[in-house]
């Protein structure tokens, strides 16, 4: 497929505005790792792409974990003695410690305070905090709100339920010529947080939309899941499918103004790692490649030693390194249309590499073929050759069955698109033949050894 | 052999003057990829070294190419209305587009202009242009000559012939103890261009002369050939011989004042690559090692995937990076005796490494042997040891059958000559034994796999 | 064992004063490679640790060497015509060329001068010189002493004996659970030189003392030997034992104020090389890792090709690079208590790595185990995790049987102690199991191939 070429013919500002518009629709919903918030979110994604929604019952064992009770919230507030709501869930859903147990009580400020979370260094911002596995209740508020509270009694109310129910996630599967899969995973469990949640959700949705209309080499598997427990639940129920994942990306925090950061898979030299490094090197923007570390997003689970899947993580600013992270300042202004569109383009470029990366055989391996008689060379000797001819020479020289187009792009320093275009032209001219499918499966032996690991464990 | 030691006893200024003198004899000849120019050139080389000259008929198939018609030129000019030669081949043979088809006609300037090549950025210089495979005629002239032309009619004449004939090349073969070969290749097809042609031709000729009087471990194969089509023709006719090439060098552009550049073979870690990097690191001059790329001189053919020979390319300034390249400014002043002599010395030093690089076995591998009782150590303890003793310790420590002298030189940071001298002394003292020939064949497995490639293709 | 943790609870200034005090006791003795000086030194070490002392007779063949005659000295001086001792061995034992043959004669200054050694660039200092294998006599004196000598006759007397006797060395063997050994070697053959002799001797003695009270995984083998000939003699008589050496360190010059230098073993990637690099990287002080070279201390012998043992060398300032080296200025002021104590701590830290470096198996390799329910995680989500939790995630992620704790420390950038503590906690929590002993023998194949080398040589 010529996915990137097609993508680049589209209006990128329009794409960006569309992405941001979808984020704005999703923003007000109070999501959590279970409950109606994520259910509604998945429904809105389903309006755009074919999405299969799964409901996994509370109590289901998933490896070392158990699917928790389902949490739903209707209202929450703190009222002062005069009945004024000094903290109101309806103003901002971050105000409630996510997964709070229900509470309705009146108590003095000093007793209330152990349940309050603020950010003294950013007195206007509300922090985002959770307590999924320890039964707790609490409120998050701006430090200014806290300091305004008089030493008095307060009525606190969290009208929430924590009951047997389901963990909900969504999958979009786009079959390709091969059953080998590309995984695109993003978490969809954060309430009103734009970059750390909705940037990944909206870009992944748009990527699935774009890929829907393509002839695909690989099958694509998009996951919209609650973080950690969602990835664990999916992996526990889909171990056979996981073995088919040949390349994977976690998308998170790709709407802000920071430069790109790609965190490599645990393997460190997987094709996705090399493809992403190549795309970012040539994308024109500042970018940085990070080594794998076991803390982060859901690559934590995909790259656990029993799976060791070739899954990396694309971010712009890295979680925890920017002040807006996990606060009310990670809002719709913090993500911008142009940034979302550019992130989608990087994803499209990586897909383009994965789809078109293969090995060719030079059918005239002894000496150079005479490009001139095929009008593939300049005719007046003595002057320099251009980049297009140079790309052809690189492809011919390294198409010895051992080098993929990505290998050739890396060694030549040229962009994958230039190398890929040269290979296509040479193939059309009868100078190259494509190696049979499978011969280019750089990661196949890893996949096999995973099978063994899973079988014996 | 102690080739380098002998070389260093010679008068290098005399060597340089002799090299430049030979270049001056060859300079006026109008060479091309076929014809009497290269034939005369080979004859003058044959006056100095034993040269076997081959003539390959027009029309011979050589891999994807065909040996072209033979081109010869007698005269060429552009005359103005008054009969003045405004451009005259007899002034400078670059004036004719090399391989021009014959023409004799009168035409207005604007019609003539499409056949004229100039260098506006160097208005005094004449460019060098060719059209070997597209039937064309043309003139190269200085931009000043062009701007002086009035808008008038001109008589153009190229008295050339392009007829069935031969492609001519020369080989000098110096047999050694082993049939394994060292290839030294240079192109001899450019007209009056000094650095990009004659520097390689003269240094290669002198190297063959010097090696002629030596006891040689390897056999040496010198090629004086037309660029591209000559290398392809030779390889097509000598596939068995090519399999015996264990090390190879293309020599080109080694007379100018620039620092040395060595472009590695496609393999990147061949012994010639390491030997040349070592020699240049220790040669005292600035130098740079370049990665392989498929565009360049005839290493393009030797390093095509079907051959993948361990052949690199030694240059001073790199083609295309200096303004004199492929212009009339690449003349006899652009190459200097001292620079030619130093280039010959670098070649001699590399040959010295290849000839003497072998593995030894330390006959006292447990602890150090007592060098003092053999007068190979300093007698008063407590002071530092010198470089000579240090070289002996390195050779003893690493002569475990796994390390060649070049390995030891690289790891110790000492020069190959220091390490090689230490090994000789230790061998004479009975502390080392040389490993049997063949045991040091670092590249043997590659050669074998080449055989397979050629057999199956 | 928790060796480092215990060590760090001790008073380091007290340790340093104790080390320096022992050095002060040993300092006045006139040691040499044989004789009563080293014998007395070993006796004083034996007062502190269990030491087996061996006496090897003169004339014993040890590989390419022969144990020399035993040298003992009673007195030496140069007297002027008036009977004044202008150079007196009793002032400083460096005054005599070590291993001088006996002499008693009167001679003019110009005849005497060929037997005198001085340091003109440090006119107050006395150099240390030896002549073990060439029968010579001589005096070392300050350059000021030399220039004060009048052109007159002098009586020279060296009351020494060089007779059949013994070469003496000491071994302290501390058995552990495994018969695999850690070698700690230091030379004890220099007369009044503090850094280049006594720093290694005192730190090694203290390390043996400390290890004596521990439960040890490895067996420890401490050698106090004359340099070069002592190591050769020990290796010649202990070839089977040498095969059990899994890690080794030569200690020398570790009392001065310079930053640490660790010279890697000939292998370059042995576990001791990686452990020492890791410890020095995290020790807080400046340090440098040096590549192996065949000149130096007794690693020269341990790393000779027939043994190729994984033995490196720990120094502070490198021999030969500081002016006090091998002079009377390498005295008790040149080594300081704090520096000796810190050197001992580095040794303890390396031992701690070697003792605790093993591989674990993550018993829940699929996805992360739920650390929270085991109180191994923070309970409020949304905030950053600390270094302790991060260490747990690293250990879990890489405990796939392929990675040792040192591998994990290196890849995570965290200290070995942090990683090791996390592993212990996780093991106690039932999340990890230790791999059976032997499975972590990174160097085992090398050891095997050494056996072969020794058998066939």
Q: How far is B126 from chain C (nearest CA, A)?
A: 55
Residues of C in contact with B370 (CB under 8 A): 64-65, 133
Instruction: Record the tokens describing residue A38, joined without a space.
Output: 């994520």
B228 — pLDDT class (breaks 50, 70, 90): very high
B436 touches chain A (CB under 8 A): no
Rounded to a whole number of angstroms, the CA Rg of chain C reads: 25
Nearest to C369 among A64, A129, A457 (CB): A64
- Checking if the pLDDT of A113 tops 60, the result is yes
C201 — pLDDT class (breaks 50, 70, 90): very high
Cβ atoms of B171 and B220 within 8 Å: the answer is no
Residues of A in contact with B320 (CB under 8 A): 384
Q: How far is B347 from chain A (nearest CA, A)?
A: 26
Residues of B in contact with A366 (CB under 8 A): 63, 235-236, 239, 304, 306-307, 454, 457
Which candidate, A164, A207, A173, places its Cα nearest to that of A59? A164
A-interface mutation test, from C379, C382, C409, most A Cβ less than 10 A away: C382
Return the percentage of chain C with pLDDT > 70, whole number. 95
C286 touches chain A (CB under 8 A): no
**Distance, CA of C242 to CA of B366 (rounded, Å):** 11
The pairing of strands B116-117 and B219-225 is: unpaired
Which candidate, A344, A245, A218, A219, places its Cα nearest to that of A301? A245
- Checking if the pLDDT of C448 tops 60, the result is no
pTM of the model: 0.92
**Distance, CA of C337 to CA of A410 (rounded, Å):** 55
Which candidate, C164, C387, C215, C183, places its Cα nearest to that of C298? C183
Instruction: Record the tokens describing residue B104, joined without a space.
Output: 């004799």
Q: What is the DSSP letter of B80?
A: -
Strand segments (E) across B381-428:
400-404
The helix (H) or strand (E) run that includes residue C263 is strand C260-263
Q: What is the pLDDT of residues B56-85, one digit of tens each?
A: 999 999 999 999 999 999 999 999 999 999
- Return the pLDDT at B14: 96
Cβ atoms of C353 and C3 within 8 Å: the answer is no
- Would you call B425 exposed, middle or buried from its count of C-beta atoms within 10 A (0-12, 13-18, 19+)? middle
B386 touches chain C (CB under 8 A): no
- Checking if the pLDDT of A446 tops 50, the result is no
What is the three-class DSSP state of C45? helix
Return the percentage of chain B with pLDDT > 90, whole number. 90
- Return the pLDDT at C48: 98
Q: How far is B129 from chain A (nearest CA, A)?
A: 5
Residues of C in contact with B398 (CB under 8 A): 294, 305
Q: Please answer yes or no on whether C379 and A129 come within 8 Å at the CB atom.
A: no
A451 — pLDDT class (breaks 50, 70, 90): very low
Q: What is the DSSP letter of A372?
A: G
Q: Please answer yes or no on whether A400 and B98 come within 8 Å at the CB atom.
A: no
Within 10 angstroms of residue C272's Cβ, the number of other Cβ atoms is 27
Instruction: Report the DSSP beta bridge partners of residue C52.
Output: C171
A120 touches chain C (CB under 8 A): no
Instruction: Record the tokens describing residue C244, joined without a space.
Output: 């059990």
What is the three-class DSSP state of B369? coil
Alpha helices in C138-199 (DSSP H): 143-148
Q: DSSP secondary structure string, B85-107?
A: EEEETTT-GGGBPBTPPPEEEEE
What is the three-class DSSP state of B404? strand
Cα B348 from chain centroid (whole Å): 13
C446 — pLDDT class (breaks 50, 70, 90): very low
- Return the pLDDT at A251: 98
Q: Across the A/B interface, how many CB contacts are shorter than 8 Å?
A: 95
Q: Please give the mean pLDDT across all residues of chain B.
A: 94
Q: Please answer yes or no on whether A232 and C400 come within 8 Å at the CB atom.
A: no
Q: What is the dihedral of CA C128, C132, C137, C139, to 10 degrees?
A: 10
Residue B190: closest CA among chain A residues belongs to which residue? A382
- Return the pLDDT at B438: 59
Q: Which residues contact C184 (CB under 8 A, 6 or more apart)?
A: C204, C207, C208, C220, C221, C222, C223, C248, C249, C251, C347
The pairing of strands B245-251 and B181-187 is: parallel
Q: What is the pLDDT of residues C105-126, one digit of tens each?
A: 999 999 999 999 999 999 999 9
Listed range (A1-15, B175-189, B285-299, B384-398) with the worst mean pLDDT: A1-15
Cβ atoms of B297 and B250 within 8 Å: the answer is yes
- Return the pLDDT at C438: 59
C242 touches chain B (CB under 8 A): no
Q: What is the DSSP letter of C147?
A: H
Whether the CA torsion C366, C371, C373, C379 is positive or negative: it is negative
Q: What is the pLDDT of residues C130-149, one digit of tens each?
A: 999 999 999 999 999 999 99
Q: What is the dihedral of CA B363, B367, B372, B375, to 10 degrees?
A: 20
Q: What is the pLDDT of residues A196-251, one digit of tens each?
A: 989 999 999 999 999 998 999 999 999 999 999 999 999 999 999 999 999 999 99
Mean pLDDT score, A139-157: 97
Any idea which residue has 């890849």 for tokens?
A: C411
ipTM greater than cut 0.85: yes
Within 10 angstroms of residue C62's Cβ, the number of other Cβ atoms is 21
- Checking if the pLDDT of A452 tops 90, the result is no
- Checking if the pLDDT of B453 tops 60, the result is no
**Distance, CA of A6 to CA of A17 (rounded, Å):** 19
Whether the CA torsion A155, A156, A157, A163 is positive or negative: it is negative
- Return the pLDDT at B328: 98
Cα B237 from chain centroid (whole Å): 21
Mean pLDDT score, B225-245: 97
Which candidate, B22, B352, B309, places its Cα nearest to that of B188? B22
- Would you call A452 exposed, middle or buried from its count of C-beta atoms within 10 A (0-12, 13-18, 19+)? exposed
Instruction: Record the tokens describing residue A183, joined without a space.
Output: 């995984």
- Checking if the pLDDT of C449 tops 70, the result is no
Nearest to A369 among B64, B127, B293 (CB): B64
Instruction: Record the tokens describing residue A375, joined without a space.
Output: 């009008």
What is the three-class DSSP state of A269? coil
- Checking if the pLDDT of B442 tops 90, the result is no
Q: What is the pLDDT of residues A390-428, one digit of tens each?
A: 999 999 999 999 999 999 999 999 999 999 999 999 999
**Distance, CA of B214 to CA of B217 (rounded, Å):** 9
Alpha helices in B243-297 (DSSP H): 271-281
Q: Please answer yes or no on whether B305 and A398 come within 8 Å at the CB atom.
A: yes
Q: Which residues contact B144 (CB under 8 A, 6 or more apart)?
A: B123, B124
**Distance, CA of A61 to CA of A81 (rounded, Å):** 45
Q: What is the dihedral of CA C73, C75, C76, C79, to 10 degrees?
A: -170
- Return the pLDDT at B94: 98
- Return the pLDDT at C452: 37
- Checking if the pLDDT of C442 tops 70, the result is no
- Checking if the pLDDT of C454 tops 50, the result is no
**Distance, CA of B159 to CA of A53 (rounded, Å):** 82
**Distance, CA of A119 to CA of A147 (rounded, Å):** 12
Nearest to C235 among B366, B393, B412 (CB): B366
Which candidate, C368, C373, C395, places its Cα nearest to that of A63? C368
- Return the pLDDT at A3: 83
Q: Which residues contact C257 (CB under 8 A, 6 or more apart)?
A: C316, C317, C336, C339
- Checking if the pLDDT of B440 tops 60, the result is no
Mean pLDDT score, C350-374: 96
Q: DSSP secondary structure string, A177-221?
A: SSS-EEEEEEE---SS-IIIIIIHHHHHHHHHHHHHTS--SSEEE
**Distance, CA of A119 to CA of B37 (rounded, Å):** 85
- Return the pLDDT at A443: 45
- Return the pLDDT at B157: 98
- Return the pLDDT at B447: 38
Give the neighbours of chain C: at least 3 Cβ pairs within 8 Å. Answer: A, B
- Checking if the pLDDT of C227 tops 60, the result is yes
Residues of A in contact with B236 (CB under 8 A): 366-367
Which candidate, A362, A363, A359, places its Cα nearest to that of A438? A359
- Checking if the pLDDT of C177 tops 80, the result is yes
A-interface mutation test, from B126, B190, B304, B309, most A Cβ less than 10 A away: B304
Residue B302: closest CA among chain A residues belongs to which residue? A367
Listed range (B264-268, C228-232, C372-376) with the worst mean pLDDT: C372-376
Nearest to C301 among B368, B380, B381 (CB): B368
Can you count the helices (H) and strands (E) in chain B?
15, 19
């Amino acid at each position: 497929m010529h996915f990137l070429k097609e993508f680049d013919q589209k209006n990128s500002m329009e794409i960006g505005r569309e992405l941001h518009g979808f984020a704005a629709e999703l923003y007000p919903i109070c999501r959590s790792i279970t409950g109606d918030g994520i259910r509604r979110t998945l429904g809105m994604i389903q309006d755009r792409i074919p999405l299969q929604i799964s409901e996994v019952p509370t109590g289901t064992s998933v490896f070392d974990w158990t699917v928790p009770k389902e949490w739903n919230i209707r209202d929450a507030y703190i009222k002062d003695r005069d009945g004024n709501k000094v903290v109101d869930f309806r103003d901002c859903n971050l105000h409630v410690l996510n997964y709070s147990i229900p509470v309705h009580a009146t108590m003095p400020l000093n007793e209330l305070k152990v349940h309050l979370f603020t950010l003294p260094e950013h007195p206007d911002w509300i922090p985002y905090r959770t307590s999924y596995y320890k039964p707790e209740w609490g409120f998050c508020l701006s430090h200014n709100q806290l300091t305004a509270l008089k030493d008095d009694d307060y009525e606190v109310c969290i009208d929430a339920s924590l009951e047997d129910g389901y963990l909900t996630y969504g999958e979009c599967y786009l079959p390709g010529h091969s059953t080998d899969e590309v995984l695109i995973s993003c978490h969809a469990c954060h309430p009103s947080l734009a970059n750390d949640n909705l940037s990944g959700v909206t870009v992944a949705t748009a990527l699935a939309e774009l890929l829907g209309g393509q002839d695909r080499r690989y099958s694509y598997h998009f996951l919209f899941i609650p973080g950690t427990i969602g990835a664990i639940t999916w992996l526990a129920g889909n171990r056979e499918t996981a073995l088919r994942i040949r390349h994977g990306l976690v998308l998170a925090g790709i709407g802000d103004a920071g430069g790109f950061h790609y965190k490599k898979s645990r393997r460190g030299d997987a094709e996705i790692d090399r493809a992403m490094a190549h795309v970012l090197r040539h994308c024109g923007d500042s970018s940085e490649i990070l080594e794998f570390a076991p803390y982060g997003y859901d690559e934590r689970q995909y790259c656990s030693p029993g799976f060791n899947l070739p899954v990396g993580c694309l971010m712009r600013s890295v979680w925890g390194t920017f002040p807006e992270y996990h606060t009310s300042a990670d809002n719709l202004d913090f993500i911008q249309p142009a940034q979302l569109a550019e992130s989608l383009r990087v994803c499209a470029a990586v897909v383009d590499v994965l789809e078109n990366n293969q090995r060719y055989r030079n059918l005239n391996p002894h000496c150079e073929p005479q490009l001139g008689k095929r009008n593939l060379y300049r005719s007046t000797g003595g002057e320099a050759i251009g980049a297009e001819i140079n790309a052809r020479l690189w492809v011919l020289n390294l198409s010895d069955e051992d080098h993929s187009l990505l290998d050739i792009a890396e060694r030549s320093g040229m962009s994958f698109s230039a190398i890929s275009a040269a290979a296509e032209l040479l193939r059309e001219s009868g100078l190259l033949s494509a190696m049979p499918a499978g011969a280019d499966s750089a990661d196949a032996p890893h996949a096999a050894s995973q099978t063994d690991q899973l079988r014996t464990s």
